[in-house]
Amino acid sequence: MELIAINFTKRGDIRVKTKTFKQGIHPKYNKDLTNSKPLEKANLPKEVTLYLDQHIGSPAKAIVEAGDKVKLGDKVGESTGFISANLHASISGEITAIEERRDSIVIKIKGSEGEQWQVDNPEKNLEDISAEEIREIIKEAGIVGLGGAAFPSHVKVSTDGKEVNQVILNGAECEPYLTVDHRTMLEQASEVIYGLKALMKSAGAKEGYIGVEVNKMDAINKLEEVSQKDSNINIIPLEVKYPQGGEKQLIKAILDKEVPSGGLPLDIGVVVNNVGTAVAVTEAINYGKPLIERGLTVTGAVNNPQNLIVRIGTPIRDLIEECGGFKGEPGKIILGGPMTGQAQSSLDVGVSKGTSGILVLSKDEIEDYKDPRPCIRCARCIDGCPAKLMPTALANLAKNDDVEGLEKYNVLDCIECGSCTYVCPANIDLLDWIRIGKAKVEAKRREN
Amino acid sequence: MDFGMLTRAVLSMGILGGLFASGLAYASVKFAVEDDPKKQQIEEILPGVNCGACGKPGCASYAEAVANGELGIDCCPVGGAELAEGIAKIMGVAPACSTERKVAQVLCQGGNEETFDKSEYKGLPKCQVADMEENFKSCEYGCLGFGDCAAVCDFDAIVMDENGLPQIDTDKCTSCTKCVVECPRDIITMAGVSEQVKTKCKSLLRGKEVKVACDKGCIGCTLCAKKCPVDAIDMVDNLAVIDHETCVGCGVCVKVCPTDAMVETSF
C-alpha cells in the first residue's frame, strides 16, 4: 500500500504537518496581489447577461419572455433534468432580450434599483431541517459548484442509496493568482462551517474535512477557532502544490483513498464541495437566497486588484473598470485562473456561476506561440501528471487518431489541469491534443 | 566424375521434394479455408483506398460485411453509384435507387478579408483547439481557417487558399465525409452535384450582427425568398434555406443577394 506523502512545511516559525498527493507541479502563485484585500460587494451592474447553460449538465429552460419584469431572485431559467440547475434574476429589472447564440441561449436583464437581498433572518437550527429539505433548498436555489466546474450541488448530495462517510470542503485554492476562497474562509468562517454541517446532514455523512493549503495559515487558524466545538470536523493543512484542489487529488491527500477510473467520489463514499459553495448553501438555508452572486478575484494587470462579490451576469468590462482599469496594455483576459481558465475575446461576457476570477495578463507577459520541438523523452509531463497518465503518449495517440489506444491509456481520466503543458520543455501542446483525444473518445462512445 | 554420387543426390532430393509436395497437396485440401467468392469479387471492384468512410477499417472488411449482409451495397461513397451497381450484380440484388454523386461544399465565405479577429489567438493552430478556446474570430459560426479539413483529407482534395478558406477540388473529392466530421464548426456539408445554388453562410445571428462580423454573410433580408420564382427558399433562423427538390437553378437569388452570400455552384 502506498503511504500518503506526509511532509513538514515550514511557515514562519512554526512547522506544520501537511498532507498531499503524489506528483503535481509548483507554478508561481502570485497570490500576494489580493490575498490581504477583504471581500467587497461590487457596484451593481446596469445590465446582466445570464447564460442558460452555465452549469454542467442539460441547459436550463427560459421561463420568461422579452419584456417581462423580474425582481431580484426571481427564477428565470428552470432546470430541465436531474443534472441541471435553476437560474435566477441577479438584478431587478426588465428582460430586454433572449438571444440564441451558437452554443448557448442568453437572457439579458436591464435596470437596477440598488436592491440587496434581505439577510435579517436568524440562523436556523440544522436539527429542525431534514436532509431532504436541505437538498430541495439547494436545488431550488440553483447552487452549483463554485470552484470552477459548476456541477449542480444537489446532485452531489443526492446519494441515491449509497453510503457517504465524508464530506470534504475544498479550500486548497491551488490556482495561482486566485484568493477569493482564502478571503471567504477568513471572513465567513462560521458560514463555511455551517454550510459544511448542512452538506454533511444532507449527504448523511459523519465526518467533515476542510482541506486548506498552508500558504493560508490565517484561514486554517480561523477555521480551527470556529470549529473548535465540533469534534467531527477536521481542518487539514495541505502542501502548497498544483493541482491540490483537484477533487481526486484532494481525496487522495486527505483520506488516502483513490477514486476508481471513470468513477465519481460518491463511489467511495465521499462528497467534495468548494468552500464558496458551502457559504451559498448557508445563505440559501438561512435567508432563502438563491445563487445570485458569488465571490471572485479580479487580479493581474489591473490598477487595483480586488476580491469582489459580484452579481451573476455582470459584464467583465464593469468589473475591470471598478478595479481601476487595465494597467498597461492587456494581452490576455482569462476567466478563472491561469492554469484552467478560459481566455476571452470580448469584454461584454457576463460572469457565470463558475467564474472564480478574472485575470488580466499584460502584453509583455504573453509569449507568442512557439512551434513545438520534438519530444526529448524527459518524462517531466509524466512526473507532473496528478492523474498518473502519460501525457506524451496520449498526445501522440490523439495525433494518430487512435481511439482504441486512447481508451486503453485512460484518456478520460485526465482532469485537464494543464500541468503537462506547463512543464514541457519542448513546447508541445500536450493538453490541447489530449482534449482532442478526449473529444474523439466521447464522440465514439456517443455513437455506440 | 562420380556419377553415383550425383545420382544419389538427385534421387534423395527428388524423393524429399516429392514427399513434401504430397504433404502440402494433402494439407491444401484438408485444411482449406472457405472464402466467400462474393467477398473476393466485391473486394476486387472496390476502390482499395481503405479510407474508412463506410464505417469499416478498410475495403476488405467492407467487402466481407456486404457479403455477410451486414452492410448495404451503397455504403461506399468513394465508388458511388457505379460501384453500387457492380456490387448489386455480384450480390444478385436490385441496384439501389439513384445514388447521386455528392461532393464536399464549404458553407462559409468568411475568410481573412471578409472577417476580422476580435483578439489574437496564440495557441496550437488547429481549428478543433481554437474552437474550444477563446472565440477569437468576429463570426462565431464561421471558418477558423487552420485547415483541419485539408489535413484530414486523404485525397488532397482540399487546399487552404490565401484568404484562409478551404477550397475543394470537386474532381478529387470522393465524398468520404471525413472533412465533414472533422470540422468543429460544421460548415462543410455534402451536396449533390445537381444542386446549383447554395447559401454559403451558417450564421444564425440577426442581420445587424452578421453585417458587423462578415462582409459576405447571410443577413436574413428575405430578398431571395421573395424573388424566387418557384418558392424554393425558406427563411429559417435568419438563414435562407434552399429546397433543392423545387429549385430550378435559375440563379435569381444569386443576383438579388445584397451580400453575395448566395453562390452558384460549379461542379
Q: What is the 3-state secondary structure (H, E, C) of chain B?
A: CCHHHHHHHHHHHHHHHHHHHHHHHHHHHHCCCCCCHHHHHHHHHCCCCCCCCCCCCCHHHHHHHHHCCCCCCCCCCCCHHHHHHHHHHHHCCCCCCCCCCEEEEECCCCCCCCCCECCCCCCCCCHHHHHHCCCCECCCCCCCCCCHHHHHCCCCCEEECCCCCEEECCCCCCCCCHHHHHCCCCCEEEEECCCCEEECCCCCCCHHHHHHHCCCCCCCCCHHHHHCCCCCEEEECCEEEECCCCCCCCCHHHHHCCCCCEEECCC
B129 vs A102: CB contact, 8 Å cut-off?
no
Q: What type of residue is A71?
A: K
Whose grid coordinates read 438579388?
A: B256
Q: Which phi-psi region, left, alpha or beta, contains residue A288 (left: φ > 0; alpha: ψ -120 to 50)?
A: left
C-alpha cell at B205: 445571428
Query: Please, what sign has the CA dihedral across residues B8, B14, B18, B20?
Result: positive
| List of chain B residues whose C-beta atoms are within 8 Å of the C-beta of residue A102 | 140-141, 204
Report how many Cβ contacts below 8 Å link chain A to chain B. 42
Tell which of A432, A433, A441 to mutate to test the B interface (max B CBs under 10 Å).
A432
Q: How far is CA B197 from the centre of its chain?
A: 20
Q: Helices A391-399 & A430-447, crossing angle to 10 degrees?
A: 60
- Is B140 part of the contact surface with chain A (CB cutoff 8 Å)? yes
- From first CA to last CA, the distance across chain A in angstroms is 37
In angstroms, the CA A200 to CA B217 distance is 54
- Is A102 part of the contact surface with chain B (CB cutoff 8 Å)? yes
The pLDDT-based confidence of A3 (bands split at 50, 70, 90) is: very low
Looking at chain B, the whole-number percentage of residues with pLDDT higher than 70 is 97
A120 pLDDT higher than 80: no
Task: Say which residue, B127 or A447, is predicted with more confidence.
Answer: B127
Domains along the sequence of chain B with CATH: 37-91 (1.10.15.40), 100-193 (3.30.70.20), 194-267 (3.30.70.20)
A-chain residue closest to B209, CA distance: A101
- Its pTM stands at 0.83
Q: What is the CA radius of gyration of chain B?
A: 28
CA angle, B248 then B252 then B256, to 5°: 150
| Sheet containing A270-274: order of strands | A5-11, A14-20, A233-238, A207-213, A166-171, A270-274
Beta strands in A102-221 (DSSP E): 105-110, 166-171, 207-213
Q: What is the pLDDT of residues A26-75, one digit of tens each?
A: 999 999 999 899 999 999 998 999 999 888 889 999 999 888 888 888 99
The pLDDT-based confidence of A396 (bands split at 50, 70, 90) is: very high
Whose grid coordinates read 504433404?
A: B23
Q: CA dist A295 to A41, A181, A190, A242, A336, Å?
A: 9, 8, 16, 22, 12
Closest CA to A40 of A243, A307, A231, A395: A307
| List of chain B residues whose C-beta atoms are within 8 Å of the C-beta of residue A369 | 122-125
Q: Quote the pLDDT of residue B178.
A: 87
| List of chain A residues whose C-beta atoms are within 8 Å of the C-beta of residue B126 | 432, 436
Q: Which of A20-24, A113-117, B159-163 has the lowest mean pLDDT?
A: A113-117
B89 pLDDT higher than 90: no
Quick one: B255 exposed, middle or buried, by C-beta within 10 A (0-12, 13-18, 19+)? exposed
Q: Quote the pLDDT of residue A5.
A: 46
DSSP line for A29-54: --GGGTTTSPEEEPPPPSEEEEETT-
Q: Which of A368-377, A417-426, B31-40 has the lowest mean pLDDT?
A: B31-40
B217, B211 contact by CB (below 8 A): yes
Mean pLDDT of B102-129: 88
Q: How far is CA A225 from the centre of its chain?
A: 25
B140 vs A101: CB contact, 8 Å cut-off?
yes
In angstroms, the CA B47 to CA B78 distance is 7
In angstroms, the CA A380 to CA A425 distance is 8
A100 vs B204: CB contact, 8 Å cut-off?
yes
* Prior bond of A338 cis (ω within 30°): no
Please provide the average confidence, as pLDDT, over all residues in chain A.
89
B238, B206 contact by CB (below 8 A): yes
